[in-house]
Structure 1
Amino acid sequence: MDVEASGRAFDGWNDFLSRNAFGTFFQTSFYADYAEREAGLKPFFLRAEENGRTAGQLLLLKGSRAHGLLANAPFSRATTKIARSLLPAFHWVYGPVAESEEAALALLKKAAAVSKGKIRECSPHPLEQFENAFTTAGFKQKKWGTFIVDLSQSEEELWKNVDHSARKLANRTLEQVEVKQVETEGEFKEFHGVLNENRKRGKVRPYRYSPLLWKIWRESGTGAVFIAREKTSNRVLAGLGISFFNGYLNEWGAGTSNYAIENHVYAQDAIKWSVVKWAKGKNFRFFDLTGVNPNPQDEKENGIFRFKEKWGGKLVEYSAWSLQ
């Protein structure tokens, strides 16, 4: 098994992912483009070949141990580039994407070599975990989980699986709001404003304004942003980003406005069910609610678990891994 590394995507990179049931947006060249241009991360494309054909791939991203502190700060792209030289740390999401345990192991060993063992955190696809390969390659394990909605069910089955209280809230709220896809940058700015209201309530640093990811999603057909707009006032009450590739959806930043919270308008519930129906109509395969602690440690984690649990998905436990 031969493994090559390159700073640019190999020919056919996204095609290979689209042929593998476990290829997601997080391993595409589109995500690498976003990570490099927006976050200042450096991508490494690893490809395993056997007898002249691709057997597996891994998108490895180089950042820094200070990335969490630098993200969304002024000049973060420039400071991240400096920090990744001084305090390098590597990670990836939902990889490797491989046809066999052998190919996965070869990619993990190459990632360890390229990073010089400085892999801080990475995660396999929850439905293709390659646990033996990670263990053999010397990675350390941390339990994690996510709820995944199986979209092969009928719409009636999907609705029946939603918690009774969530069904009531979604129905009631859909009478108050219109859920739609963001089509203009003006609408995206409204979504961004709601997202930052949400972050300020949680006492975390607001996001810098950038429509780059939304534009990449629109141009490549790999994602969308949904908003809930109140019918009477026309104000945006909530929003949710989703990426999709190869029939697999992941939710991204979710935000609810202060107005919606204060007036008990459950706009996020309306969006969630609307996205499930929309994805079902597109014949997508799975909707991944993107991460929960299977053993919540505080009230915040408990709240996240309860909200994601009520949408009828299956709790899939998997592991986050590191070499540090």
Structure 2
Amino acid sequence: MPSSLHGKTYWDLPYATCGYLKLHAVKVDIAAYGFRSAGLLKSYFSRSSKFGNFLLDKLNLYRLEIPYGPVSEHEEGACLRDWISYVLLYANRISCGSVEITPPYYEYLKDSGLADKYDEAFSREGFSLDRRHSIVLDVSQGEDAVFQKMHKETRRKARKSMQGSITIERLTSPEHIEQWMSIKGRNTWLNRSIMNEAALNDDHGRYEYYVALEDGVPLAWQGVRWGYEVGLLEGNAISTQLRIKKSLANYALQMFMINRAHERGVRYLDWVGADPDSEDPKLMGILKFKKSWGGELVSYNLYTKTVFGPKILLVKCMRTVARQVKELLQKIT
């Protein structure tokens, strides 16, 4: 695939030589028309079995997922519509089934008018809009300012957690990985591949996973995906032992992630996902915990578009037939 289009853009896409079954997703770096972003070329059905991923790979059915942009490099001369057209053109060339783009909603904290700009541009190109919410903290303001934004009780516990015997380590121990996956209910082939890649540092620097231990006992886990300007927190889990011990391991882990964001040079840390309208006590508690770190609630739209519909329809039919055959065989046996 050529590295330039009309002499203005480039897109490094090494998926052809990356060994798709080794990596669950391939990193894509995009710079075009005054914008930059990082994306992932993923199997269309991301929770498929190993055989399912092999089949989708042979059918060349991928989903182009861009969770980190586009971010404007130069406000003057940047053309969002041209960037979108370019992404769709390339997605068609490699027969992607669909494109999913998350706007840089963390930038809405500085300029709320960007939301309308992105919505209008993507709607015009036929993308569907799906409303989402998140909690975003600007970590570039420095540690003192970050502490001042925290809820009083969170600030107290965070400082106390940094004075105790809690240690933070990269999640590389097979035993600790198994415990994390068991708590999260992620015992699938795909999630094992993700964790193994992250543990081996064989994931192009996209993912990092950490575990908080107290007296050698793992009590809290946290993952992060890194973009150009933002770290997206995911996969947080706590052990039942944490509540029994009344440990502050999860607070130590969140502080570590804030400091890690500083080290990486990103501006924002995103506690991904929020449901401000929920009346579910559990979800309300999670939202309260995320907001207590001083972040702001940001609302935005996720943009999706089907690019190569016939392939998707074919695979969906195949999956339906396979499921029905499996259910029939189970009844027979």
TM-score scaled by length of structure 2: 0.67
Residues in 2 aligned to 1:222 and 1:107: alpha-carbon distance in whole angstroms: 24
Residues in 2 aligned to 1:157 and 1:47: alpha-carbon distance in whole angstroms: 33
Residues in 1 aligned to 2:282 and 2:269: alpha-carbon distance in whole angstroms: 22
The CA deviation at 1:172 is: 4.0
Residue 21 of structure 1 corresponds to which residue in structure 2?
A: none
Residue 84 of structure 2 corresponds to which residue in structure 1?
A: 105
Q: Which SS does the other structure have where 1:157 is aligned?
A: helix
Q: Deviations over 1:180-226 (max 9, x none)?
A: 232x833xx344134124214xxx64643642123336x85665433
The share of aligned pairs that are identical, in percent, is 18
Structure 2's unaligned 5+ residue stretches are: 73-77, 108-113, 307-333
Seen in structure 2, the aligned counterparts of structure 1 residues 105 and 275 have a Cα distance that, compared at 3 Å, is closer
- Look at both structures and tell me which one has the larger radius of gyration over its CA atoms: 2
Residues in 2 aligned to 1:114 and 1:131: alpha-carbon distance in whole angstroms: 25
Residues in 1 aligned to 2:182 and 2:37: alpha-carbon distance in whole angstroms: 38
| Kept in 2: contact 1:149–1:314 (CA 8 A) | yes
| Kept in 2: contact 1:58–1:107 (CA 8 A) | no
Q: Which SS does the other structure have where 2:231 is aligned?
A: strand
Q: Deviations over 1:36-86 (max 9, x none)?
A: 6332x577777646xxxx76567463523x433x2xxxxx23322314667
Residue 132 of structure 1 corresponds to which residue in structure 2?
A: 120
The CA deviation at 1:159 is: 0.8
Residues in 1 aligned to 2:57 and 2:286: alpha-carbon distance in whole angstroms: 31
1:61 aligns with 2:61: no
TM-score scaled by length of structure 1: 0.69
Q: Deviations over 1:76-106 (max 9, x none)?
A: 2332231466795624123445643133332
Q: 2:243 aligns with which of 247, 251, 261?
A: 261
Residue 17 of structure 1 corresponds to which residue in structure 2?
A: none
Seen in structure 2, the aligned counterparts of structure 1 residues 174 and 152 have a Cα distance that, compared at 3 Å, is closer
Q: 1:185 aligns with which of 163, 168, 172?
A: 172
The CA deviation at 1:178 is: 2.0
Seen in structure 2, the aligned counterparts of structure 1 residues 269 and 181 have a Cα distance that, compared at 3 Å, is same
Q: Deviations over 1:147-184 (max 9, x none)?
A: 221122231221121112222333444454423232x8
| Kept in 2: contact 1:194–1:255 (CA 8 A) | no
CA RMSD in angstroms comes to: 4.0
The CA deviation at 1:230 is: 0.7
Residues in 2 aligned to 1:258 and 1:34: alpha-carbon distance in whole angstroms: 39
Q: Which SS does the other structure have where 2:254 is aligned?
A: helix
Residues in 2 aligned to 1:60 and 1:279: alpha-carbon distance in whole angstroms: 21
| Kept in 2: contact 1:144–1:318 (CA 8 A) | yes
Residue 192 of structure 2 corresponds to which residue in structure 1?
A: 208
| Kept in 2: contact 1:248–1:287 (CA 8 A) | yes
Amino acid at match of 1:150: D
Number of equivalences = 283
The CA deviation at 1:135 is: 0.7
1:94 aligns with 2:61: no
Residue 55 of structure 2 corresponds to which residue in structure 1?
A: 82
The CA deviation at 1:312 is: 0.6
Residues in 2 aligned to 1:241 and 1:275: alpha-carbon distance in whole angstroms: 9
Residues in 2 aligned to 1:97 and 1:36: alpha-carbon distance in whole angstroms: 30
Q: Which SS does the other structure have where 1:109 is aligned?
A: helix
Residue 20 of structure 1 corresponds to which residue in structure 2?
A: none
Seen in structure 2, the aligned counterparts of structure 1 residues 3 and 142 have a Cα distance that, compared at 3 Å, is farther
Seen in structure 2, the aligned counterparts of structure 1 residues 34 and 155 have a Cα distance that, compared at 3 Å, is farther
Structure 1's unaligned 5+ residue stretches are: 14-27, 71-75
Amino acid at match of 2:172: E
1:314 aligns with 2:268: no
Q: Which SS does the other structure have where 2:201 is aligned?
A: helix
Matches within 5 A, 1:1-324: 13=12, 37-39=22-24, 48=32, 59=39, 61-64=41-44, 66-68=45-47, 70=48, 76-83=49-56, 88=61, 90-92=63-65, 93-97=67-71, 99-110=78-89, 113-114=92-93, 118-119=97-98, 121-126=100-105, 127=107, 130-182=118-170, 185-186=172-173, 189-200=174-185, 205=187, 207-208=191-192, 210-216=195-201, 224-231=208-215, 234-280=216-262, 283-296=265-278, 298-323=280-305
Q: Which SS does the other structure have where 1:312 is aligned?
A: coil
Q: Deviations over 1:269-311 (max 9, x none)?
A: 2210232134336654221222323433744433332221111
